[in-house]
């Protein structure tokens, strides 16, 4: 079963994501609330996939993604953000995101993005 | 402040409420304010930066916020709905703002937003710097909701 690390500053979002992912057969092994915490948790937990928000305190998700990819260039990171501007999506994909999901997210779309990242 | 800056927020609020909570919002009136004080007990403040700057304040009466949250998590117990109330309302404000930035930014611009800040009190004094505020009220079956937008291009 694939292990997932969630990063979002809003606990309600993580609650919904966790429910959706567990129904989809994934295991959520950690929940971070900001960019610095997700980088630290990634080091410790080595999850198969990270679901990363962009707007977070202390360090945003794009910078946290860059920090994780510097440690592990094979890290699978999927952005899940309320921000869906074209320029940001381009920036995130260029920086190494495997996919970009705009909130409110469709449960099927999130599960599919993880399955694709795992291939 | 131009009226077209608030339109993306009006469109987004209607869309996101329908999608996330199955609640129909109706726009009731639009006013221009100076230093805005949100009129309801629960306010969510989100700042904008990048190619647009300023802030947006979403304001709800407590009972309206509670009913909205119960629609956002219909299968949760009343205790759980209570525990997640601020967070769920914050996520709603975050998604409305995020959706509005897509409409405001178009293809070239980039707009960043801050994490939501929740302010709870009868009347919160809020300063919007020198940017005039456009305020829209919406009605729903659970009461009214106000969105105050004080933004301008960089
Ligand atoms: Mg966030």
The number of beta carbons lying within 10 Å of the beta carbon of residue A48 is 18
Of chain A, the percentage scoring pLDDT greater than 70 comes to 100
Q: Which pTM value belongs to this model?
A: 0.95
Task: Spell out the domain ranges in chain B.
Answer: 3-153
- Distance of alpha carbon A50 from alpha carbon A53, whole angstroms: 10
| Calpha distance B87→A103 (Å, rounded) | 15
Q: How far apart are CA A114 and CA A49, in angstroms?
A: 7
Angle between helices A61-71 and A86-94 (to 10 degrees): 10
Does the distance separating the beta carbons of B88 and A81 come in below 8 Å? no
Q: Which of B87, B98, B115 sits opposite A103 (nearest CB)?
A: B98
Rounded Cα distance, A76 and B60, in Å: 39
For residue B3, what pLDDT is reported? Answer: 82
- Residue B103's pLDDT is 94
pLDDT digits 0-9 by tens, B36-91: 566 788 999 999 999 999 999 999 999 999 999 999 999 999 999 999 999 999 99
Distance CA B3, CA B137 (A): 14
Task: Tell me the CATH architecture of domain B3-153.
Answer: 3-Layer(aba) Sandwich (3.40)
**In contact, B132 and B34? CB cutoff 8 Å:** yes
Peptide bond into B19 cis (omega under 30): no
Q: In what order do the strands lie in the sheet with A77-81?
A: A27-32, A3-7, A49-52, A77-81, A99-102
Instruction: Select from B12, B115, B117, B118 the residue whose CB has the most chain A CBs within 10 Å, as the one to mutate to test that interface.
Output: B115
Strands of chain A, DSSP E: 3-7, 27-32, 49-52, 77-81, 99-102
Give me the mean pLDDT over the B134-144 stretch.
93
Which of B19, B109, B113 comes nearest A83 by C-beta? B113
> Both ends of chain B: CA-CA distance in Å?
13
Q: Which of A82, A84, A86 to mutate to test the interface with B (most CBs of B within 10 A)?
A: A82
8 A C-beta contact, residue B145 and residue B60: yes
Cα distance between residue A42 and residue B42, in whole Å: 35
- What pLDDT, on the 0 to 100 scale, is given for residue B126? 61
Q: Determine contact, residues A49/A15, Cβ cutoff 8 Å.
A: no
Instruction: Write out chain A's pLDDT in tens, 119 residues.
Output: 899 999 999 999 999 999 999 999 999 999 999 999 999 999 999 999 999 999 999 999 999 999 999 999 999 999 999 999 999 999 999 999 999 999 999 999 999 999 999 99
**Interchain contact A10–B (C-beta under 8 A):** yes
Give the pLDDT confidence of B6-29 residue by residue, as tens digits. Answer: 999 999 999 999 999 999 999 998
Phi and psi at residue B91, in whole multiples of 5°?
Answer: -65, -35
């Amino acid at each position: 079963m694939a292990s997932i690390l969630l990063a979002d500053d809003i606990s309600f979002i993580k609650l919904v994501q966790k429910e959706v992912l567990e129904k989809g057969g994934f295991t959520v092994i950690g929940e971070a609330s900001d960019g610095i915490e997700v980088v630290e948790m990634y080091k410790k937990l080595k999850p198969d996939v990270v679901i990363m928000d962009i707007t977070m305190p202390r360090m945003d998700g794009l910078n946290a993604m860059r920090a994780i990819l510097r440690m592990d260039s094979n890290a699978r990171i999927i952005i899940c953000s309320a921000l869906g501007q074209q320029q940001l999506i381009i920036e995130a994909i260029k920086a190494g995101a495997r996919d970009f999901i705009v909130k409110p997210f469709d449960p099927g779309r999130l599960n599919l993005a993880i399955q694709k990242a795992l291939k | 402040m131009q009226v077209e800056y608030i339109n993306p927020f009006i469109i987004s609020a209607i869309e996101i409420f329908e999608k996330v909570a199955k609640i129909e919002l109706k726009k009731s009136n639009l006013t221009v304010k100076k230093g805005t004080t949100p009129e309801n007990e629960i306010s969510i403040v989100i700042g904008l930066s990048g190619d647009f700057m300023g802030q947006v304040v979403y304001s709800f009466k407590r009972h309206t916020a509670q009913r909205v949250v119960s629609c956002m998590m219909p299968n949760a117990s009343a205790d759980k709905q209570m525990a997640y109330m601020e967070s769920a309302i914050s996520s709603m404000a975050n998604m409305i703002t995020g959706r509005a930035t897509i409409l405001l930014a178009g293809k070239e611009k980039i707009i960043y937003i801050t994490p939501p800040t929740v302010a709870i009190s009868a009347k919160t004094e809020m300063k919007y710097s020198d940017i005039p505020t456009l305020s829209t009220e919406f009605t729903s079956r659970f009461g009214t909701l106000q969105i105050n937008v004080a933004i301008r291009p960089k």
